[in-house]
Amino acid sequence: MRLVLEAAGQQYAEPANESKSGAKEVYSRIDRNSTGDEDGNPPQLAPPMLKVKNAGKNGKTLVISQTANLLLYLGTELGLAGEDDVDKYYVNQFALTALDICDEIHSTHHPVSSSLYYEDQAEEAQRKAKDFRETRMPKFMGFFERVLKSNEEKGHGKYLVGSSLTYADTSFFLIVESLHYCFPKELKAREKDYPLIFTKFYPGIKEEKGIKEYLASGRRIPYSNKCLFRYYPELDRQ
């Protein structure tokens, strides 16, 4: 979401990370007794959530969740959802695939349960990570390489759909970044198999207006083992 907002030059705030009252609001929306808010928004299952003033029912505040849904909303509102009605479904499709990969990376650390510590499922994680590195990762990367190939004429190998940036690109860009963090050796060994991804797409997105400034800004939260993606050397290629 941040990359989409930054690429569009849209101002935003992250109250849940910035204030106690912001965090409290998130907890109250996912409270197991919540039946929604006074603006007519339903209860939410989990963060991330997006809150947009005046965009809800009768001009009230809109609150929605589910990452793919937030990307669809922001992409549509901010002009990063594709150039026509056909492209918008391709864009949504590829963003959903990127999110699937995101889930799979996360579940290499937490194959049994996201509510258990890594240390309590480290053995299962070994098996899961091996399968991910050897089977899933080449499948996904090969797929996106071919999507870039199929769009090469319009996107010059820099975009997944059409001739300009969409939320499919920002989503897959983050997958490449996450793989760099979680499985650096495995990715390094495979880079040469995906020339469009690594010589056109990945360096190209880094230079996009808004994204370039964001990446250089220091505002970005660095990858760390306190976040969604973890680096456990024993799960990487040995």
Query: In angstroms, what is the minimal distance from the CB of 41 to a second copy?
Result: 8
Instruction: Please identify, using beta-carbon distances, which residue of 127 and 220 lies nearer to a second copy.
Output: 127
Instruction: Please identify, using beta-carbon distances, which residue of 131 and 236 lies nearer to a second copy.
Output: 131
Instruction: Please identify, using beta-carbon distances, which residue of 121 and 212 lies nearer to a second copy.
Output: 121
Dihedrals phi, psi of 231, to nearest 5 degrees = -115, 110
Query: In angstroms, what is the minimal distance from the CB of 127 to a second copy?
Result: 5
Query: In angstroms, what is the minimal distance from the CB of 224 to a second copy?
Result: 25
Q: How far apart are CA 181 and CA 175, in angstroms?
A: 10
Distances (CA, A) of 216 to 133, 144, 158, 191, 204: 30, 26, 20, 24, 15
Cis peptide bond prior to 184, omega within 30° of 0:
no
Instruction: Please identify, using beta-carbon distances, which residue of 27 and 89 lies nearer to a second copy.
Output: 89
Distances (CA, A) of 37 to 23, 25, 143: 16, 11, 42
Query: In angstroms, what is the minimal distance from the CB of 3 to a second copy?
Result: 20
Instruction: Please identify, using beta-carbon distances, which residue of 82 and 204 lies nearer to a second copy.
Output: 82
Query: In angstroms, what is the minimal distance from the CB of 101 to a second copy?
Result: 10
Interface ranges with a second copy (CB under 8 A) = 32-36, 42-43, 45, 55-57, 62, 64-66, 68-69, 72-73, 86, 89-90, 92-93, 96-97, 103, 107, 111-113, 115-116, 121, 124, 127-128, 131, 135, 139-140, 142-143, 146-147, 149-151, 161
Query: In angstroms, what is the minimal distance from the CB of 50 to a second copy?
Result: 9
Instruction: Please identify, using beta-carbon distances, which residue of 147 and 174 lies nearer to a second copy.
Output: 147
Q: How far apart are CA 210 and CA 5, in angstroms?
A: 9
In sequence order, the β-bridge partners of residue 51 are: 63
